[in-house]
Amino acid sequence: MSNFADMKELIFATNNKHKLQEVSEMLNNTVVIKSLAEIGLNGDIPETADTLEGNALQKAQWVYERTGKDCFADDTGLEVDALDGRPGVYSARYAGEHCSFDDNINKMLAEMKDKTNRKARFRTVICLIENGTPRYFEGRVDGQILTERYGKEGFGYDPIFMPDRFAVSFAEMPLEVKNHISHRGHAVAKLVEYLKKTTN
């Protein structure tokens, strides 16, 4: 077991406290995670690519260029079949710039009101940059869009997304259960597997 002081340190390119908490718990005892706030890096991280992979790379490169330190970023999209894959890469700002999670959910519920096909999936792509070289890890979970909100946990679209083989929304699950089955959970698990191989 490596000493905490000797553990690899990675910067996570996010200002989202919910996301930081989820990922930090999943990476426990593998690496030390530093948030942008912890290293005093401020500014708006660009997210102008038209794919999840492109956005994850863009965010990670932005941090790497300013710190020269190994880092990773993620981008997540909710893809809804009845909406031709929307909102996808625009999931965080589906209801417009500076919108809230509630705004996004309200728009989604309105657009899905009369839809019978409610199949959807979350996809997360993580881009890890080590010594300037990017590496990608993807996770996915399939499910469906509910007709109303259920649960108080999680964030984003969690109250209206029910994963396959479950009878509750992401927002009704304990964090440790969601982390085990979620899109981000699958992507982080692949990242952890890679880091364990390269840091041992």
Question: Catalytic site residues?
Answer: 75
Contact call for residues 63 and 73 (beta carbons, < 8 A): yes
Tokens coding 177: 């259960």
DSSP symbols for 122-160: EEEEEEEEETTEEEEEEEEEEEEE-SS---SSS-TTGGG
Cα separation, 46 vs 59, in Å, equals 6
Cα separation, 45 vs 11, in Å, equals 14
